[in-house]
Amino acid sequence: MCSSDLAGGDGRQHALLYMDLDNFKTVNDTCGHVAGDELLMQLTTVMQSRMRGSDTLARLGGDEFGALLEACPLDQAVRIANGLREAVRDFRFVWQDKTFGIGMSAGLVTIDGSENVSRVLASADATCYDAKRKGRDRVLVYRTKHDGANAQSADLQMVSQINHAFELGNFRLFRQKIIALNGAGNDPHYEVLVRMVDRTTGGMIPPSGFMAAAERYNLLSSIERWVISSLVEFLHAQTASGALPRDAAGNSQAVYAVNLSGVSINDASFIDFLRQLLTRFNLPRGLLCFEVTETTAISNLNKAAHLMHELKAMGCRFALDDFGIGMSSFAYLKYLPVDYIKIDGVFVRDMADDPMDRAIVEAINRIALILGLKTVAEYVESASIAERLRAIGVDYAQGYFVAKPEALVNPPDNASVLESA
Q: Domains of the chain (ranges plus CATH)?
A: 3-142 (3.30.70.270), 154-418 (3.20.20.450)
Q: Which pLDDT does position 421 carry in this prediction? A: 33
Confidence of residue 375 (pLDDT cuts 50, 70, 90): very high
Q: Which 3 state secondary structure label does DSSP give 414?
A: coil
The enclosing H or E element of 388 equals helix 383-392
Dist. CA 12–CA 31, nearest whole Å: 45
pLDDT of residue 149: 52
Give the whole-angstrom CA distance, residue 285 versus residue 214.
31
Q: 208: closest CA among 400, 363, 74?
A: 74
Q: What is the pLDDT of residues 320-372, one digit of tens each?
A: 998 876 444 577 788 899 999 999 888 898 898 889 889 999 999 999 999 99
Higher-pLDDT residue of 131, 287:
287
Q: Do strands 340-343 and 317-323 pair parallel, antiparallel, or not at all (unpaired)? A: parallel
As a whole number of Å, the CA-based R_g of the chain is 23
- Given a cut of 60, is residue 9 above it in pLDDT? no
Lowest-confidence region among 44-53, 58-67, 317-326, 377-386: 317-326
With a cut of 70, say whether residue 146 has pLDDT above it.
no
H helices of 187-269, in order, are: 207-216, 220-240, 262-265
Mean pLDDT, the chain, rounded, equals 85
Residues in the chain: 421
94 beta partners: 99
Percentage of the chain surpassing pLDDT 70?
Answer: 88
pLDDT, position 227: 96
Please list, in sequence order, all residues whose beta carbon lies within 8 angstroms of the beta carbon of residue 308, skipping any fewer than 6 positions away.
Answer: 292, 318, 336, 337, 338
**Is the pLDDT score of 1 beyond 60?**
no
Question: Rounded distance, CA 106 to CA 138, Å?
Answer: 6
Overall average pLDDT of the 193-221 stretch: 88
Burial 378-403 (b: 16+ CB within 10 A, else e): bbbeeeebbebbeebebbbbbbebbe
Asked whether the predicted pLDDT for residue 415 surpasses 80, the reply is: no
Residues 360/347, Cβ–Cβ less than 8 Å? yes
The answer to whether the CB of 90 falls within 8 A of the CB of 328 is yes
Neighbours of 365 (CB within 10 A): 20
